[in-house]
Amino acid sequence: MALARLPSVDQVLRTPVAAAAVARFGRIATTDAVRRAVAAARACMRKGGAAAIPDAPAIAAGAVQILDAEGAQSLRRVFNLTGTVLHTNLGRAVLPEAAVAAAVDAMRSAVALEFDVGGAARGERDDHVRGLVRELTGAEDAAIVNNNAAAVLLVLNTLAGGKEAIVSRGELIEIGGAFRLPDIMARAGARLVEVGTTNRTHLEDYREAVSGATGAILKAHTSNYLILGFTKAVPAPDLAALARTHSVPFVHDLGSGALVDLGRWGLRPEPTVRAALAEGADLVTFSGDKLLGGPQAGIVAGRRDLVARVARNPMKRALRLDKIRLAALEATLKLYRDPDRLPETLPTLRSLVRRRADMAAVAARLRPAVADAVGGGFSVAVVECASQIGSGALPLETLASAGLAIAPAGRRGAGRRLEALAAAFRGLPVPVIGYIREGALVLDLRCLDDEAGFVAQLPGLQAPDSDSTEGPGAPA
């Protein structure tokens, strides 16, 4: 019987290909892969799917394929051509070179993380950035945690655990996935006191809710939506005054929290941390990897006594930052000391301020190579795009951009061919992520900074054939 003539695991392992695999991947992993390749060949023959009995080298080659696939880095680089600059699913901010270098240094060596080199005493890890946050925001002090969700959780637990926190019904935000303010509040052990209505909240609503049980008044930046029409929200300075009258801390969750006025580069201004503090917030919370353009982190900035309480909370230990991100955050913050050069030094800002004409020129340059790679089955056009900042900054604001729209020629199976094309771009060594709009795959070029790398891999694109309009897929 044919199955008996299938090479044994030992026979496969004695082939030169398998020997080379042992040298690369180790004996245990290679033996396991060979076993699976033999089993796959056997299953294939049982089903009658194999034309010939595979020999030992063929099975060894199959095992190497398995090993290569499983050895590839899962968390890897992609081209973000979605038009969303701070794309949460694509890792938000691309870090500045200075931050990359600082992080690499911190990874390679022992560092003075909680050690005061000058005084040879114990230091605190947040010390490396506290001074910078003070300088850049006007805050009295700062504490650093894992992300802004952690900052909000920690602040609420510290100030309002076992007490009440007052929030407007218009600000009970959900920020993608699991960050829902009422849930965070519950986990922080704070009782949520909702005031006002979805569209209108008055100072009077807050005033009536304040009591001896109030731990904090919270204002949350409605990062990813706007309430328009017949609306009223209480300005931060009024809330701050009310909070001060009742000796209750006023916390402002800014979300993105810009450190500089984006207006100077022609972007619509997003509230800055300095302004929020000047408007009377006792504590401000914001992210490190949104508009700030650094590593994932959450920053609590504000009154010294309150920051000290936050830092003493035992939860802080569970939410603290590691040396790698602290090093990156310090280096990123230092760039803000020279704000004039930020569009060059901070990739996030560089992408945000990029001019439409620049991207249109890139699109025109790339069009022939892309047209070549996708073949005759598709048309490629330079198009206008509307990029977004992303991650809940200026949700309705779009930035004029340019890109390429790749559309299937002809209507038969167009939907299926378009999906196959998008998959082919995602299947490149550095996956290219665009979006589908009006029957075309759109590549927004705002965040493309490695044009040569993009072009170099295009010849490997496995675009669907132009004549593959017949097939199982329903015509779109």
Q: Which is nearer to ligand PLP, 219 or 350 (CB)?
A: 219
> Do 296 and 316 touch, CB atoms closer than 8 A?
no
**From 221, 252, 334, 354, residue interacting with ligand PLP (rule: CB under 6 A):** 221
Comparing CA positions, the residue from 464, 406, 466 lying closest to residue 436 is 406
Q: In the window 131-150, what residues touch ligand PLP (CB under 6 A)?
A: 147-149
Interface with ligand PLP by CB under 6 A: which range of 79-87, 190-198, 253-261, 426-434? Answer: 253-261
Decide whether 148 or 157 has the Cβ nearer to ligand PLP: 148
The angle that helices 27-46 and 16-25 make with each other, rounded to 10 degrees, is 130
Q: Is 179 in the site for ligand PLP (CB under 6 A)?
A: yes
Among 389, 166, 139, 145, smallest CA distance to 272 is for 139
Stretch near ligand PLP under the rule CB under 6 A, chosen from 35-43, 250-258, 414-422, 429-437: 250-258
Long-range contacts of 309-317 (CB under 8 A, 24+ apart): 309/158, 309/159, 310/143, 310/154, 310/155, 310/158, 310/283, 311/124, 311/126, 311/143, 313/154, 313/157, 313/158, 315/153, 315/154, 315/157, 316/143, 316/145, 316/154
Among 37, 175, 190, 406, binds ligand PLP (CB under 6 A): 175
Residue type present at position 95: L
CB of 172: closest distance to ligand PLP in angstroms?
11
Question: How is residue 193 written in tokens?
Answer: 């006191």
Residue 95 CB, nearest approach to ligand PLP (Å): 15
3-state secondary structure of 348: helix
**Is position 172 an interface residue for ligand PLP (rule: CB under 6 A)?**
no
> What is the distance between the alpha carbons of residues 23 and 55, in angstroms, rounded to a whole number?
21
Query: Residues 222-241 vs ligand PLP: string with x where CB under 6 A?
Result: -x------------------
- Is 84 one of the binding residues for ligand PLP (CB under 6 A)? no
Whose Cβ is closer to ligand PLP: residue 161's or residue 395's?
395
Measured distance CA(63)–CA(30) in Å, rounded? 7
Which of residues 31, 201, 287, 469 is near ligand PLP by CB under 6 A? 287
Residue 41 or 276: the one with the smaller Cβ distance to ligand PLP is: 276
- Residue closer to ligand PLP (CB basis): 183 or 451: 183
392 belongs to the binding site for ligand PLP (CB under 6 A) = yes
Closer residue to ligand PLP, CB minimum distance, 150 or 374 = 150
Size of site (CB under 6 A) for ligand PLP:
17
Shortest gap between Cβ of 114 and ligand PLP (angstroms)?
A: 24
Alpha-carbon distance values, 374 to 53, 362, 421, 449, 458 (Å):
37, 18, 8, 22, 9
Minimum CB distance to ligand PLP smaller for 156 or for 306: 156
For the record, the structure tokens of 10 come out as 């030992």
Q: Give least dist CB 272 to ligand PLP, A.
A: 14
7, 54, 96, 255: which one binds ligand PLP (CB under 6 A): 255
- By CB under 6 A, residue 253 contacts ligand PLP: yes
Structure-block tokens of residue 396: 């309705």
Which residue's CB comes closest to ligand PLP? Answer: 255
Cβ neighbours, 10 Å, residue 124: 13
Stretch that binds ligand PLP, among 117-125, 216-224, 426-434, 442-450 (CB under 6 A): 216-224
282 burial (CB, 10 Å; 0-12 / 13-18 / 19+) is buried
351 in contact with ligand PLP (CB under 6 A): no
**Residue closer to ligand PLP, measured from CB, 115 or 179:** 179
Interface with ligand PLP, residue 390, by CB under 6 A? no
CB 305 within 8 A of CB 143: no
Q: Which is nearer to ligand PLP, 117 or 178 (CB)?
A: 178
- Name the residue nearer to ligand PLP (CB basis): 93 or 139: 93
E strand or H helix that includes residue 121: strand 121-122
Q: How far is the CB of 177 from ligand PLP (least distance, A)?
A: 9
User: 442 burial class (0-12, 13-18, 19+ CB within 10 angstroms)?
Assistant: buried
From 191-199, 252-260, 403-411, 445-453, span contacting ligand PLP (CB under 6 A): 252-260
- Closer to ligand PLP at the Cβ: 67 or 270? 270
Backbone dihedral region for residue 196 (phi beyond 0: left; psi -120 to 50: alpha; all else: beta): left
**DSSP code string of 277-311:** HHTT-SEEEEESSSTT-SSS-EEEEE-HHHHHHHH
The C-alpha atoms of residue 259 and residue 245 are separated, in whole angstroms, by 29
Q: Which residues are at the interface with ligand PLP (CB under 6 A)?
A: 147-149, 152, 173, 175, 179, 220-221, 223, 253, 255-256, 287, 298, 391-392
